[in-house]
């Protein structure tokens, strides 16, 4: 008996960029690129309008600017995207207890496990209804693929893009896969794809023609057997409801290498605080603190320190990270810093602050003092840079007179703001001094004002 197409794969369309366009009326229908805006930044997401110019995710931002110089370039608002993602994942969990999120904008759902679908017709109906619910709740679009396995459902959602629904019916899988590139199959990245290409294997049909023994010879036993099975449309991977996080970490890549040792210490302290905020947001704590330092020559050093119990205390994480920094040679400059916590648990040990303080000794106290002293020694020029960086391109602000808006850009002591909301007409642009007391940071506005507006389904 053939399996019904009851594995659903949802992929939100150009998620970050689409969320920004929905939030900012002046950007709708225009090229939008979201990512790191510094010289070393990369593209996180490009709108479909930007993709016309060849811009795509993971591309260096400098290259994207050359291809689409007139696009809007924005820094990601991850808190905003996460809030939308939680709404979407909530809709998926109404369909089944087996929901496997892959990222903020992508997930698998086992519809049969929730009794939501059992054959082609019921699966197609659920997919169509889900797309409508997502639009009603978030104002955004998602593409849905339905098939009998995870691999085929993901391929179907790719074919459905943008804003579509594709069902791969039982019995059609081999004919569909045959002419596709080998890169379509899970586990075939650039290196494996090149290896197969050198062997004269370009399509899925050619994998089948080569035979299982040849695949094992080329790729090894495990990979060869697995890839041959997928080429025959065999994929037995189950939808896994929970993917437990093993670590929480943050890192920053700097536009200009940092040479000042005191500045490096300040950055580590700031990253430790950000890491703890993520820990607390996830409701977990951790035992092992990790410091990552990438130097000017791209060499990367990683140091770790394990505590006697889990913590989410920012002072403990800061002190541990600074102690490890003392043993790292940053001569020549630092281009990336990161702080992480592993060994996660859902509780904390209250006396860890005293433990960490006792373990720090004179070296730890010296590092802490250096950070405190540096706060008083920052030059006026550096303080100005900090103030200007407050106004991040694409992020939300509120003005006492003009209301809600978003930052179009800042520099030379000024910040440019466009005043508009998700349900307004494209707004006017005004420029202010960066320290204008009437201007302040603001939380993002919801894309859909009435969250319960979606239809009720019996």
- At 424-434, the pLDDT tens digits run 999 999 999 99
With beta carbons less than 8 A apart as the criterion, state whether 275 and 341 touch: yes
Whether the upstream peptide bond of residue 162 has omega within 30° of 0, thus cis, is yes
Q: What is the pLDDT of residues 259-301, one digit of tens each?
A: 999 999 999 999 999 999 988 887 788 889 999 999 888 788 8
Report the pLDDT value the prediction gives residue 366, as an integer from 0 to 100: 36
Q: Which of the 8 DSSP states describes residue 268?
A: H
Per-residue pLDDT, 289: 94
Give residues with Cβ within 8 angstroms of 323, minimum separation 6: 305, 360, 363, 364, 367
The question of whether 401 is a catalytic residue gets the answer: no
CB neighbours of residue 251 within 10 Å: 15
Rounded Cα distance, 166 and 157, in Å: 6
Measured distance CA(371)–CA(377) in Å, rounded: 10
Average pLDDT over residues 357-384: 35
Residue position matching structure tokens 């990245």: 189
Residue 341 burial (10 A CB sphere; 0-12, 13-18, 19+): buried
Has residue 363 got a pLDDT over 80?
no
Mean pLDDT, the chain, whole residue set: 84
Long-range contacts for 61-64 (Cβ within 8 Å, ≥24 apart)?
61/33, 61/35, 61/36, 61/37, 64/33, 64/35
Choosing from 100, 106, 173, 420, the catalytic residue is 106
């Amino acid at each position: 008996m053939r399996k019904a197409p009851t594995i659903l794969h949802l992929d939100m369309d150009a998620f970050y960029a689409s969320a920004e366009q929905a939030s900012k009326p002046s950007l709708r229908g225009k090229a939008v690129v979201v990512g790191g805006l510094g010289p070393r930044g990369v593209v996180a997401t490009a709108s479909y309008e930007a993709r016309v110019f060849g811009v795509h995710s993971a591309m260096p931002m400098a290259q994207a600017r050359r291809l689409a110089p007139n696009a809007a370039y924005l820094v990601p608002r991850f808190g905003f995207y996460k809030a939308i993602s939680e709404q979407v994942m909530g809709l998926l969990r109404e369909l089944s207890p087996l929901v496997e999120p892959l990222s903020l904008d992508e997930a698998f759902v086992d519809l049969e496990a929730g009794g939501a679908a059992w054959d082609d017709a019921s699966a197609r109906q659920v997919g169509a209804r889900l797309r409508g619910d997502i639009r009603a709740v978030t104002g955004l679009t998602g593409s849905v693929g339905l098939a009998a396995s995870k691999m085929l459902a993901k391929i179907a959602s790719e074919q459905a893009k943008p804003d579509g629904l594709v069902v791969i019916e039982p019995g059609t899988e081999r004919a569909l896969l045959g002419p596709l590139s080998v890169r379509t199959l899970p586990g075939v990245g650039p290196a494996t794809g090149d290896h197969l290409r050198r062997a004269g294997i370009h399509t899925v049909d050619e994998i089948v023609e080569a035979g299982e023994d040849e695949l094992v010879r080329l790729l090894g036993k495990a990979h060869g057997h697995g890839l041959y099975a997928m080429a025959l449309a065999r994929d037995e991977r189950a939808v896994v409801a929970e993917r437990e996080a093993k670590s929480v970490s943050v890192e920053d890549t700097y536009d200009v290498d940092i040479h000042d040792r005191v500045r490096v210490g300040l950055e580590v302290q700031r990253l430790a605080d950000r890491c703890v905020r993520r820990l607390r947001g996830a409701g977990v704590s951790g035992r092992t603190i990790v410091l990552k330092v990438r130097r000017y020559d791209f060499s990367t050093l990683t140091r770790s320190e394990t505590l006697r119990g889990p913590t989410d205390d920012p002072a403990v994480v800061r002190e541990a990270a600074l102690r490890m920094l003392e043993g790292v040679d940053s001569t020549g400059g630092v281009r990336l810093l990161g702080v992480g916590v592993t060994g996660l648990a859902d509780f904390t040990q209250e006396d860890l602050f005293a433990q960490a303080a006792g373990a720090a000794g004179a070296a730890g106290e010296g590092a802490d003092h250096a950070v405190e002293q540096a706060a008083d020694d920052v030059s006026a020029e550096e303080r100005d840079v900090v103030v200007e960086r407050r106004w991040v391109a694409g992020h939300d602000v509120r003005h006492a007179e003009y209301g809600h808006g978003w930052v179009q850009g800042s520099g030379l002591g000024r910040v440019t703001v466009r005043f508009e909301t998700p349900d307004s007409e494209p707004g006017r642009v005004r420029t202010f001094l960066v320290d204008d007391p009437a201007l302040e940071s603001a939380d993002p506005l919801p894309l859909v004002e009435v969250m319960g507006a979606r239809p009720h389904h019996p």
